[in-house]
Structure 1
Amino acid sequence: MQFTLVVYGAPHASQGAATALRFARALLASGHSIYRVFFYGDGIHNGSALAAPPQDERDLLGQWQQLQQDHQLDLTICIAAAQRRGVLSESEANRLEKPAANLAPGFELSGLGQLAEAAALSDRLVTFGG
């Protein structure tokens, strides 16, 4: 079965992102596939390269990146939500004349069309956070 996951929760403000990560791992371990993980609303903070959790807390950014590398996952961040919250790719930072970019490697910016496409091409769409 093919899944798309939508993450609305910021990495350390709710359990949504951590639950989505555990769910993704369980899906893959069970032989299912993940078409796309789409980060929306405050969930876009999962893709900020500037996140620096304390040593005694989970590094959700690093764990998402590792999962992406291990399984070639499509980690997509809503570009409109990201711009509003200050998570920018190098090209967006240049286009908007901002001094720096902070989109983490392994994540890409895209529009809501990518979410609609993923929903159409997946057997299940599961959301996390609120």
Structure 2
Amino acid sequence: MTFTLLVNGSVYGTQSARNAYLFASRVIAKGHTLRSVFFYQDGVQNGSALTAPANDEFDLVAAWQRLAAEHNVRLETCVAAALRRGVLSPAEAEQHQLPASNLAAPFEQTGLGSLAEALLAQDRVVQF
């Protein structure tokens, strides 16, 4: 089966993003394909390159990055939600004449159309 995950929870402060990551890991371990993870609402904060958890804490942003690199998973943040929360790609920072960007690689900013495509194309879309 093919999956897309929709993550609405912040990188820290709630359990939903961590649960999504654990679910993603199990989906892959069971032999299914995880095509993409779409981060929406406060979930876009999972794409910030400016998180710095303590040494004894789980680094969820780095975990998402490893998952994407090892399993060819697209990490997409909703561009509108990200802009409202200060998570910007270099292109968005330039377009809005802001001094810096902070979107972690390989996260990319996309629109809700990307999520709509996933809803039509994947066998399952699971929301956290």
TM-score of the two chains, using structure 1 as the length reference: 0.97
Aligned alpha-carbon RMSD (Å): 0.6
Q: Unpaired segments of 5 or more residues in structure 2?
A: none
Alignment correspondent of 1:60:
60
Is 1:34 the counterpart of 2:34? The answer is: yes
Alignment correspondent of 2:47:
47
CA shift, 1:27, in A, is 0.4
CA shift, 1:34, in A, is 1.1
CA shift, 1:35, in A, is 1.9
Question: Aligned partners of 2:37, 2:105: CA distance in 1, in Å?
Answer: 15
Deviations 1:53-90 (A, max 9, x none): 11121100000000000011000000000000000000
Between the two proteins, the alignment pairs up a number of residues equal to: 128
* % same residue: 52
Question: Aligned partners of 1:117, 1:33: CA distance in 2, in Å?
Answer: 16
Is 1:86 the counterpart of 2:86? The answer is: yes
Question: Could you list the runs of 4 or more consecutive aligned residues of structure 1 that deviate by over 6 angstroms after TM superposition?
Answer: none
TM-score of the two chains, using structure 2 as the length reference: 0.98
Q: Unpaired segments of 5 or more residues in structure 1?
A: none
Amino acid at match of 1:30: K
